[in-house]
Amino acid sequence: MAALIGPPEPDDPPDNQLLARVRQWHTDIHRLRERGWTISAIARRLGRDRKTVRHFLTTDLDQILASARERRPNGHLSRFKPYLQQRFREGATNSAALFREIREGGYRGSRVVITKYIATLRAGTAAPEPRQLIPSPRRITTWIMRRPDALTDSQRKQLNRILDACPDLASARELAHEFSAIARERRGHDLTHWMARALDQGLQPVQGFAAFLQNGWAAVVNGLTLNWRSGAVEGQVTRIKLIKRRPYGRASFGLLRTLVLAQPP
């Protein structure tokens, strides 16, 4: 059973704000009732709904506190629900027996909560447990493009589960890493082999990227092989554009030529 129940949660304060507030409401409602106040008068005095006042008058305080504990975002029952669901599927439907089992596993809540939850399982109205969040396509793409040593342990585990579930993504990741290595190490001579694999085994986006590279094949191979760069040319173009925009609308081509020549790089 210990393997089926999640790690224990930290102990809650013996009298947290929610439970203290519930106790105070219970005390105030019963004190006014003893003075002869009607349910409607109590509701108006305390700013509560009449149904709430009636519930506090007709329900035992322990049961109200148990319900309040269960309504908390991290209620006591949350980490025991998978175990209860499995035991229920195995045929264990006695709430008292199940209560004793999870009590041994660290459950600190009320038996009433267990009885109600088993009733919802029996009736088929229990709310399904939230599914594990799936990373967005953008995040998965980021993980695929990063080097494996740049991922955290959690990211690596999630990515491995995704790649196991989708072999096509695993193939795309391998092609992406291979192309990245070719570009980083300037091995343009290996691009032909990568292109053949991409067109034959790659997903449609990878095939589209490979087909796009074929439009300027010579330039791509030279760019991934030669040491020449166009950075100097691009820098001069940017400098001329900056000078041109300064006197925009107030100068001729002759003045622009003078400014370009007068301001050396």
The arithmetic mean of pLDDT across residues 75-90, rounded, is 79
What is the pLDDT, as a whole number, of residue 112?
A: 84
Domain limits of the chain?
A: 17-123, 137-223, 231-262
> Is the confidence at residue 187, as pLDDT, over 50?
yes
> Residues 220-231: pLDDT tens digits?
888 888 887 778
> Is the confidence at residue 33, as pLDDT, over 50?
yes
> Is the confidence at residue 124, as pLDDT, over 80?
no
The arithmetic mean of pLDDT across residues 125-152, rounded, is 75
The arithmetic mean of pLDDT across residues 154-164, rounded, is 84
Contacts for 68 with CB less than 8 Å, ≥ 6 apart: 18, 19, 22
Angle at 257 between CA 249 and CA 242, to 5 degrees: 60
> Residues 234-258: pLDDT tens digits?
888 888 888 888 777 776 788 888 8
Q: Which of 103-117, 127-141, 201-215 has the highest mean pLDDT?
A: 201-215
> Residues 22-31: pLDDT tens digits?
888 889 999 9
The arithmetic mean of pLDDT across residues 84-112, rounded, is 84
Give the predicted TM-score (pTM) of the model: 0.41
> Is the confidence at residue 135, as pLDDT, over 50?
yes
What is the pLDDT, as a whole number, of residue 241?
A: 86
Q: Which of 33-42, 44-53, 86-95, 165-174 has the highest mean pLDDT?
A: 33-42
What is the pLDDT, as a whole number, of residue 31?
A: 92
